[in-house]
Structure 1
Amino acid sequence: MLTFFCLKIEILFLNNRYKLSLNPTPKKLEKNKYKILLIFFILIIIANQIIISNSISKQSSDAETINIAGKQRMYSQLITKMALYTKNANLQDDNISNLKKVIDSFKKADTYLKQKNKLQYNIESLDILFNKNTPYFNKIISSSNKLIEDPNNEVVFNQFFETIKNNEQPFLNSMDAIVNEYQKLSENRLSFLKKMEYFFITFTSISLFAIIFFMFLPMFRKNKALTNLNKELEKFKKEIEQKEKDKKSVEEILHRTNSVARIGTWEVDLINKEVSWSKVTKEIHNTKNDYIPSLEKGIDFYKEGYSRDRITKVIDNSIKNNSSWDEELQIVTAQGKNIWVRAIGQPEFINNECVRLYGTFQDINTVKLAQIELKKANEELNAILDSGTISIIRTDTNGIITYFNEGAEKLLGYKSEELINKKTTAIFHDKEEVLKRGKKLSTKYKKEITGFDLLTRLARNNKVDSTKWTYIKKDGTSIDVQLSVSAIRDKKGNIVAFLGVGTDITKLTEQNKQLASFAQIASHNLRAPVSNLSSLLDLYDICETSEEKEFTFGKFRTVIAHLSETLNTLIEAIKIREKRESNIEIKTLSFSKVFKKTEEIISEKISRLNAVIISDFSSIDTIKYNESYLESIFINLISNSLRYSSPERAPRIEVTTTINAGKIELKITDNGLGIDLEKHGHKLFGLNQVFHRHKDSKGVGLYIVKNQIESLKGTISCTSEIDKGTTFTITF
């Protein structure tokens, strides 16, 4: 009975290992496979012949085209010859008839070549040559037709030969170029044909070899499988006798390991100091079948360090305390390969003494490595997601936050432990914005939508919800966020959670506002000069005298000069915007040195107006900034203070620096005319905005200065009182 039971187990094992051997492919399927391979080979040959035949056909067509192109030379020369024959009065009619035939052939050949290129070749270089040749062709045809109409007219006859003289050679040169193009095309196709032939010869040879290989491969596999099967059966015969003796041990191992993966088994007889491994266990260790293991050798297979220490500890604990173990550890096989295994062990006690250890041994290397890689990938993904300021927040169906990544922490200022399982997303949403969206959705769906539902309405309906929201950070500041909300569903399609991915678009929103502002400024400042040009053009059309036209033309110059100046200013502003902070040269500067240079540049104005300029850079004299920008700030603002000084008092300008809230502030204060900010404040830094009459006023300086300051993330503000003065404050 035991022999039959063991035989059944071994046959099941061999069936799994040699499934292909015990379940051969039916002959009918084998025949069909050979038919398919043969058909495939025939199709390759047919495809080869079709392509080659097509290429030969194209070669033949090319030869015909080259022949006709060559005939054009003959026709052009034959026209001249036939024209001479028309002078023969006796055969004039016959010669004229022959001339007509030659001209007709000449025209047909030209039409054929052009149509051939258009419909078949479509070569741009040939189109160019035909277009170049057409005038010569037309002149030859035209003069020939005139000669046919009046062959006895000496003037016509002379004009014909003059035309032939001027056009025949250029025509022949062009035709030579055309023939050369066709010749190149034909040679390229011939080269392609040769390459294709080589390719198909190679491909056919490889395919034939592959077909032969796959035809005989099953036979080789069958022979090998049968050989291996015979060897296994021979070993099996010898093992039956040994397994009969170990009936009780085998039955017990089979019974107790029936509920686990039957990959390999092992047993340690602590009384007789004997260790036995199953065949699969030996295979996992990469040992030979005749290998005789021991407990010490078995432990030594475990990788030195944690794995070896752990297996030693659990075995010792099992022997002492009658405890089982289930561990995932690493071993080093007999061939030096590191693999992961699952070792399961169970002790057997008799009279409170451990007499035997037994269990299973499973190779889990592939699964374990996949788990490690997956864990690594998840850690890397989480690191990537947490490295930036992309907010990833998961909530339950009621809006309670269940996941809050590091990106969300950086973006909003909250720690995950402050919110997870404690707060809803309402904590950082702008309440007024939520109310407005609730009203909008309620109107759309014709029912009241409030609370968390308005944030997830589209996601619940399997729609993509990507909306701009305002987040309120922990410190109370607000940021613009593009939020995408999606629903997480289980296998049955039920919503179990929501996932919100938010990206900070505050900078993008600000850039869009700046672009819109710039577009508005450009439109406003270009509209007037363009309108003036249009009006002057209409006025110029109705001018009657040269003086009026000259006067109007002078106005044209003035308007164009203003337009050019406006465009240059806009271009400068664009350059400043495009540079941005990363492309602008920054170095350590001294306010006092740059200011002294500014005073030297505008010293004439200062002296002329008896201006008093007081500077105080004692609080902070150095700054990391762009030198040309700092010079521009000083020159433009000081020049404005001088330009718009009060005629009733000498100009007085104070320039100071201070530190305010950790930032450098530069203040330039004057006692000039002042600006009505209630009236002009909204357009103070606009292009071409002038608030006082002055011959040098252009309204450009403040616009450029503002763009330069903002390009380096600074701000400029202004306070002013009419007839008292103005203060500009620049925060760096």
Structure 2
Amino acid sequence: MKAVERVDQFYLLKQLPKATALLCKKGIVQDASCSWLEIFSQSLQDKNHQTKIFPLYPEFLDLEKKLMEHTPFSIKHKIKSSKGTRHLKSYFAPWFDEKENVIGTIVQTDDITSEVEKEQQIDWLNNILETKVEVSKTGWWEYEIEEEKLTWCKETKRIHQVPECFEPTVIEALNFYKPGYSRNKASMLFHKIALSHQPYDAKLMIVTLHGEERWVRITGKPIIENGKTVKVFGTIKDIHDQVTAETTVKEHQQLLSTLVDSLPLNVYVKDLESRKVLVNKGECKFLNKKPEQVIGKTDFDLYSEETAKIFREEDLQVMKHLTPIIGKETASTVHGKTIYFLTSKIPYFDLEGKVCGLIGMSLDITNIKKKEEQLRNLINITSMQNQKLISFAHIVSHNLRSHSANFSMLLGFLNSEKDAEERKRILKMLSQASDNLLETLENLNQVVDINTKTSETKTPLNLKNNVLKVLENLSALLEENKSQVINNISENIEVNCVPAYLDSIILNLVSNAIKYKSPNREPLITINAVKSNEGIILSISDNGLGINLDKYGDKIFGMYKTFHNRKDAKGFGLYLVRNQIEAMGGSITVQSEVDKGTTFNVYFNEES
């Protein structure tokens, strides 16, 4: 009966789902389950072959000694097969008979390959996490609300510069934040998250255990179960270097921005499409726009098409050919006002050395151009005045010398003449000579008066009304000569003039048109006035004798210059007119053709 039971027991052993083997005291396998034999690739069919346990565990040299101690123990080991490496855990325990005598050892083996692989994967993930934490300088923390337990990872402790054994409380953790805003903010966020269930993300400053102030970025996220926060998980990242760098960059940007905005230049940066990506205050002031109204715009959005095309061609030359433009004089018209600049454009390169646009700088030289224009005008006026002075001195010298010689000669005749009638005739000639001298002196005095009265004030005058007043004064002369006057001047045209000069100019030009009429036709005088870029232009045209400009063009405004054989011609009126016009900052030109007529164009200077 016992033999049958023993056979049944061994048969049952073979069917056990757990890999099990029975060893004798010498470590020889007496019997084993099929699963154990399959693990170790063993067979008990050959009765003459004894399977010893020790070769199956070659890495454990003291296994035999451990078995002799007859105490339970376990070992982890691995075997290699065609299916790869298998990880095993074997449990050794004494095998007793019915009298509790040790007769051997029971071995049970578990395949823990999947557990080992999971542990390895977990270790691998933990290593990756630790590496990421170390590289990113981002630590994590966890607070279990019910247990009131706060846990910091190694990186979090490193950020706070505390030892790895340090286990903080919530109060201790909050006290690491810099007193004031940072500590108050951190406390508020931490206590609020449990109630509001809202995550947070903030930049604050901590004071480490070593007293070092450092910027950190903290986040917190609630873990909610059944509508209640049971845990708070968060991160802390050391961003001190980043914040310091950003602050330095902002300070440099502010310094650069202040410097660029303070320059007496218009500064701008364009991209490859000539869109403005940066402008300073000078450029915005010139365009009379806010920065946001200029950024992203091209010159076609800001200037006339003609000007924009010129600027675009310059931009392409700079960016494609890398040819800077330095100190080029340009003109821009904005809001109807033309401004002159000295413009420079240089290529703008990115960090890889590729052209990504251009940098432009423009210096407003409008005032300099005006000064240059004023200087040129002053030089011209000085030259003209010098020429006038020379001419005037020549005239004074010549005319007064002529009068003096005439007086001297007549006085000589008077002294030597005894005849009363002849003396009377000489005295009459002396009286006439005296009148001529007085007239000459009056003319010369009038010219001097015009050129020296710089304080004469110009006032706005209605041009048409002044012309009508002069024509009314000349009505008798016009009627006597059967003259026709066509006055085309608009009623709203005003000129800045010295009143007496304007009347004299109109009077002389109209009376000359009558005086030098053609004997073959009745006088026709046409008066026009137009507004132009140069100011108001007054034109007085006639159909009279005309003047040979090829022959007399350079003498027409000279003193005492006459061009027709008229006894009443003195050659002083046009000389006087030119002096009056130039004294007011204007000019006069003439167009004439013999026997067809003459046109005088008077250009008024509208500046006060």
Higher Cα Rg, which structure:
2
For the criterion TM > 0.5, the same-fold answer is no
More helix by share: 1
Q: Normalising by structure 1, what TM-score?
A: 0.34
More strand by share: 2
Q: Normalising by structure 2, what TM-score?
A: 0.40
